[in-house]
Amino acid sequence: MLIQTTFQPEDLYNAVHELIRMAYPKHDLCQGGPQQADVKLHMEMQVVQQQVALTGCIVEGNKRTVREEKLDIITSENNRRSETNRLIRRFAYDLLVEHKGYSINSYGILTGMRPVKLAHLLLDQGMRPAQINRQLKDNFRMSPDKADLIMEVAANEYPHLVRGQESQDTVGLYVGIPFCPTRCYYCSFPGAIYQPGDSLQVFLTALQREMDAIAQCLKETGKTVQSIYIGGGTPTVLSEAELQQLFEHLHRLFISAATREITVEAGRPDTLSLSKLKLLKEAGTNRICINPQTMNDETLVKIGRAHDREGVVQSVIWAKEAGFKQINMDLIVGLPDEGKQDYQRTAEEILALAPENITVHTLAVKRGSPMAEKEGRESVGNRIKTVQEGLNMMGNMFRDSNYQPYYLYRQKYMQASMENIGYSLP
Ligand code: SF4
pLDDT value at residue 376: 65
Same domain, 173 and 318: yes
pLDDT value at residue 1: 87
Query: What CATH number should be reported for the domain holding residue 97?
Result: 3.30.160.150
Q: Does 259 have pLDDT greater than 90?
A: yes
Which whole number is the average pLDDT over 163-181? 93
Same domain, 212 and 357: yes
If we measure between CA atoms, which residue out of 200, 426, 175, 209 comes closest to residue 283?
A: 175
What's the gap in Å between 169 CA and the centre of ligand 1? 33
Judge contact between 272 and 266, C-beta under 8 A. yes
Mean pLDDT (the chain) is 92
Residue 121 resides in a domain: no
Quick check: CB of 39 below 6 Å from ligand 1? no
pLDDT value at residue 379: 58
Which atom of ligand 1 is nearest to 182's Cα? 5
Residue 147 resides in a domain: no
41-91 tens-digit pLDDT: 999 999 988 899 999 999 999 999 999 999 988 877 778 888 999 999 999
Which whole number is the average pLDDT over 29-48? 89
301-354 tens-digit pLDDT: 999 998 999 999 999 999 999 999 999 999 999 998 999 999 999 999 999 999
- The radius of gyration computed from the CA coordinates of the chain, to the nearest angstrom, equals 24
Same domain, 90 and 184: no
Same domain, 97 and 218: no
Quick check: CB of 232 below 6 Å from ligand 1? yes
Quick check: CB of 183 below 6 Å from ligand 1? yes
Q: Report the residue among 186, 187, 237, 363 best suited for mutation to probe ligand 1: largest number of ligand atoms under 8 A from its CB.
A: 187
Q: Please, how many CA atoms are within 13 Å of residue 209, restricted to the half-sphere of its CB?
A: 5
Q: Does 377 have pLDDT greater than 70?
A: no
Same domain, 68 and 206: no
Which atom of ligand 1 is nearest to 183's Cα? 5
Percent of the chain residues past pLDDT 90, beyond the cut: 77
Same domain, 181 and 280: yes
Residue 141 resides in a domain: no
Residue 305 resides in a domain: yes
Structural domain ending residue among the three candidates 89, 104, 119: 104
Same domain, 217 and 336: yes
**SS3 per-residue string spanning 390-405:** HHHHHHHHHHHCCCEE
Quick check: CB of 306 below 6 Å from ligand 1? no
Q: Does 231 have pLDDT greater than 70?
A: yes
Q: Report the residue among 179, 186, 188, 234 best suited for mutation to probe ligand 1: largest number of ligand atoms under 8 A from its CB.
A: 234
What's the gap in Å between 304 CA and the centre of ligand 1? 10
Quick check: CB of 267 below 6 Å from ligand 1? yes
Same domain, 287 and 363: yes
Query: What CATH number should be reported for the domain holding residue 245?
Result: 3.20.20.70
Which whole number is the average pLDDT over 8-37? 89
232: CB partners within 8 A, 6+ apart: 176, 177, 178, 179, 180, 191, 265, 267
Q: Does 415 have pLDDT greater than 80?
A: no
291-305 tens-digit pLDDT: 999 999 999 999 999
Which atom of ligand 1 is nearest to 233's Cα? 3
Residue-range definition of the domain harbouring residue 18: 1-104
Residue 193 resides in a domain: yes
What's the gap in Å between 420 CA and the centre of ligand 1? 17
pLDDT value at residue 75: 79
Strand partners, 46: 53
Residue 211 resides in a domain: yes
Structural domain ending residue among the three candidates 104, 124, 141: 104
Residue 131 resides in a domain: no
Residue nearest to atom 7 of ligand 1 (CA): 187
Which atom of ligand 1 is nearest to 305's Cα? 6
CA distance 60 to 96: 12
Quick check: CB of 42 below 6 Å from ligand 1? no
Same domain, 177 and 279: yes
Quick check: CB of 189 below 6 Å from ligand 1? yes
Residue 22 resides in a domain: yes
What's the gap in Å between 269 CA and the centre of ligand 1? 13
Which atom of ligand 1 is nearest to 191's Cα? 3
Same domain, 199 and 276: yes
Same domain, 90 and 164: no
pLDDT value at residue 370: 79
- At residue 365, what are phi and psi to the nearest 5 degrees? -85, 110
Q: How far is CA 411 from CA 35, 225, 275, 418, in A?
A: 31, 27, 35, 9
Count of the separate structural domains present in the chain: 2
Give the long-range contacts of residues 87-92, CB within 8 A, separation 24 or more: 87/52, 87/54, 88/12, 88/15, 88/16, 88/45, 88/52, 88/54, 89/15, 89/16, 89/19, 90/139, 90/140, 90/141, 91/43, 91/54, 91/56, 91/67, 92/15, 92/16, 92/19, 92/20, 92/43, 92/56
Q: Report the residue among 179, 189, 331, 363 best suited for mutation to probe ligand 1: largest number of ligand atoms under 8 A from its CB.
A: 189
CA distance 402 to 391: 17
pLDDT value at residue 397: 98
pLDDT value at residue 6: 95
Which whole number is the average pLDDT over 249-269? 96
What's the gap in Å between 395 CA and the centre of ligand 1? 24
Which whole number is the average pLDDT over 141-153? 97
Structural domain ending residue among the three candidates 104, 126, 152: 104
Which whole number is the average pLDDT over 4-26? 93
Which atom of ligand 1 is nearest to 186's Cα? 7
